[in-house]
Amino acid sequence: MKSIVIAAPHSGSGKTTITVGIMECFRRRGLTVAPFKVGPDFIDPGYHRLVTGLPSANLDGWICPPEFVRASFAHHALNADMAIIEGVMGLFDGFGGTADEGSTAQVARLTGAPVVLVVDARGLARSAAAILKGFAEFDPSVRVAGVIFNNVAGDSHERILREAVAQALPELKVFGCIPRDDGLHIPARHLGLFTAEEHPLSDKFLDHLVEVIRDRVDLGLLWGAANPLDAPVPRAEPIPCRTPAGPVRLAVARDEAFCFVYEDNLCLLRRAGAEIVTFSPLRDERLPDNVAGVYLPGGYPEVFADALAANAGMKESLARAVNGGMPVYAECGGFIYLTRGVVDGAGTPESLHEFVGIFPVTTRMLPRRKALGYREVELAADTIIGPAGTLARGHEFHYSEMEEMPADVERAYRVRRGPVDLGMEGYRYRNCLASYVHLHFGSNPELAASFVARCRSYATRSSA
């Protein structure tokens, strides 16, 4: 199995578009491509899934232990012809300034995959070689195999770039030079790109992208360079978790409004004994039959507020489940869906889009980002995802702001950002636990085991 990491010196270099194009090119050649994304992002993996037909797993060395990153990579790459890992931010950017935890470089080292840098050449000529030299020599344990230049102005610009690299770094391969092309931009909104569930990539767009990649990138040279390093190839051992006998049905919201879920969270839930049953809060009138728990992941409930508010049947079904003691776990957008609702920019009562109403607050969208960053959570009480003292890691990213939660609503999380204590969060009502933090169950697989165990206990009591 071959593998490469597609990285960049900084965000905005074009690595998502180029990654998607390379994946689609190899897929059209009949190859099985296993996609991955470094970091906690949800949107890029959706595009990977769209073109490869396979789920894209997040690999994050700060959120998850190194052994889990290796196991996840091996598990999802099993039987693939090629694993393509899209990086995050700049190659060496991670949690801090003195170590590479959470960086693309760390994942490249853990997986043994060589790095292809996507360099935005706009405004660069020979200086591009200096940038590449710095990245190639910064960490000898990370092998930079070559470069794809993006936003190349023309033939003369391409010639200068290639000559500069050949002189300064003759061992580094120039895999291609992609011209400036406004037709290669993927639409974006406040949390980044539009989600794959909203189908922003038309057949026309993909055909054009593939044509550009085929014409401007030497895919044969790239295929030849995508050999793993000398580091031991991770073994495809099962992702660790307890697997009790007999499945328990767990309803997971999956539609355009709720699509931000880590693939390994679902894997760990299955390995803990869950039978995943997906449903749509946008279109389904009630929860699936015979489920013993609900997982409401994040997404864009504010974008689909009218449709969610109009679906009275689903709101009533969820409220009955929560009030009946069913284990319900909600993150970010799923949390917002369990509040009284979302208000429009004016913030007037008349602008309220009414949601489920489990938590007695409203949410409003802000013109600027409210929160972004890694989070570590310590459970302050026994919950459906673990006992008091349990530690887990995840990420928070949103443009929304809630009213202050009433004091009588229990807080179950102590949240930290590195050494900074961010206070108490993780709101609980009966067996419903909701938070703005997206937890990655790979940070502590006992989260999935505990949640499924609580669902199993609920199913046993309900059938007695």
| Per-residue confidence (pLDDT) for residue 231, from 0 to 100 | 45
pLDDT tens, per residue, the chain with 464 residues: 899 999 999 999 999 999 999 999 999 999 999 999 999 999 899 999 999 999 999 999 999 999 999 999 999 999 999 999 999 999 999 998 888 999 999 999 999 999 999 999 999 999 999 999 999 999 999 999 999 999 999 999 999 999 999 999 999 999 999 999 988 887 665 555 566 666 668 889 999 999 999 999 999 999 999 976 544 455 544 455 555 567 999 999 999 999 999 999 999 999 999 999 999 999 999 999 999 999 999 999 998 999 999 999 999 999 999 999 999 999 999 999 999 999 976 666 678 999 999 999 999 887 777 768 899 999 999 999 999 999 999 999 877 888 999 999 999 999 999 889 999 999 999 999 999 999 999 999 999 999 999 999 999 998 86
Q: Is the dihedral of CA 255, 190, 43, 29 positive or negative?
A: positive
List, in order of start, the domains of the chain with CATH numbers: 2-228 (3.40.50.300), 248-463 (3.40.50.880)
Structure pTM? 0.93
Active site members: 332
Amino acid letter at 254?
R
Q: How many CB atoms lie within 10 A of CB 389?
A: 10
Residue closest to 105 by CA, chosen among 48, 75, 60, 172: 60
Cβ neighbours, 10 Å, residue 434: 26
Give CA–CA dist 423/150, Å, rounded: 43
DSSP secondary structure string for all residues of 184-246: GPPPEETTEEPPGGG----HHHHHHHHHHHHHHB-HHHHHHH----SSPPPP-PPPP----SS
Q: Are the CB atoms for 136 and 165 separated by under 8 Å?
A: no
- Sign, Cα dihedral of 145, 149, 154, 159: negative
What distance in Å separates the CA atoms of residue 296 and residue 317, rounded to the nearest whole number?
14
